[in-house]
Amino acid sequence: MTAKKLKVGIVGGTGYTGVELLRLLSVHPNVTLTAITSRGDAGSAVADMFPSLRGYVDLAFSDPAQANLSECDVVFFATPHGVAMGQAQTLLDAKVKLIDLAADFRLQDTAVFEKWYKLPHSCPNVLREAVYGIPELYREKIKSAQVIGNPGCYPTTVLLGLAPLLEQGLIDYSAPIIADSKSGVSGAGRKAEVATLFAESSDSMKAYGVAGHRHHPEIYAQLTQLAGTELHFIFVPHLIPMIRGMLSTIYVKLSEKAKSVDLQALYEQRYQHERFVDVMPTGSLPETRSVRGSNQIRIALHRQAEAGYLTLVVVQDNLVKGAAGQAVQNMNIMFSLPENTGLEVVPFLP
């Protein structure tokens, strides 16, 4: 276990994932918050912008150009796509570990990244060494990683929902895997945009990104890696009128091999030692409010035996297990801390 406190920097501390990192790290027993940057709010006290952090965070935002991030042990990037890769090599040269909550280090294929994000990838050498940060799938690689590509929120629900089936070859890939996913409005980020105004997004629900969503190639790359084969995948995200929370309903056609497998037992065994994955009892229908504010993800299985299909219902808080909480979980692993350190947050209700 790491004896000294980790010096932690956050680049981009004014968005929803940034403030969620601050909420979790401010009470983490092994962390000293060292620098929190914001180009537009440099000099302003963090607690003035986020009163919930009053008494917990006494730092002011610093200008990214003046923040000495090289003194940190680890730096989180809660920034738009393209920012982390511009600073990655400098930080790595200073022996600073990096956890990016954007997409710069999620996709190993730079052509795919550039197609979806409309940016040239400026550090492919760093990308090749980056580890995709879902601890329940890649824990051993995360332990020795210098750079983590923290997964997208939708991909976390889909990949953890499907992993046991993919690992055991229990899906019939002649039919597409279908993920019907819903996210609270905070998933769109903390910015002024007509589509996320209260009068526009409340009392309504809509699909978006049907023709193509940036998380599709990310999910597909991981699905094929876990499956060891090409497959068909359909992903449709939806915006729902609540602040935080995510629910994915996933439909898969089961293979012949799966007919003789107790899938409930398979999932319970696969995740029995995973603190943040809860396999619900048979027949359960998990709600997003059951994970609100926590790093928990809950999975329920519903088998349609006559049709040969399995329906999975997966819920998480999109800002915690879907973003900042998972990033802290990755940090804990990278520095040999107990994985649940600073993350034992009971979901809040109502």
Dump the DSSP string for 196-214: GSHHHHTT--EE--TT--T
Catalytic residue among 101, 103, 153, 179: 153
Residue 153 is among the residues annotated as catalytic for this protein: yes
Residue-wise pLDDT tens digits, 285-332: 999 999 999 999 999 999 998 899 999 999 999 999 999 999 999 999
- Residue 126: the pLDDT is 97
Q: Strand, helix or coil at 160?
A: helix
Percent of the chain with pLDDT over 90: 91
Binning pLDDT at 50, 70 and 90, where does residue 3 land? low
Is 70 exceeded by the pLDDT of residue 1? no
Is 90 exceeded by the pLDDT of residue 191? no
Residue-wise pLDDT tens digits, 24-82: 999 999 999 999 999 889 999 999 999 999 999 999 999 988 898 999 999 999 999 99
The sheet that has 309-316: what strands, in order across it? 206-207, 233-239, 177-183, 246-253, 309-316, 297-304, 277-279
- Residue 339: the pLDDT is 98
Residue-wise pLDDT tens digits, 140-185: 999 999 999 999 999 999 999 999 999 999 999 999 999 999 999 9
Domain residue ranges in the chain: 6-129, 154-318
Residues in the chain: 350
Dump the DSSP string for 268-329: HHHTTT-TTEEEPPTT----GGGSTTSS-EEEEEEEETTTTEEEEEEEE-TTIIIIIHHHHH
CATH topology of domain 6-129: Rossmann fold (3.40.50)
The architecture CATH gives domain 154-318? 2-Layer Sandwich (3.30)
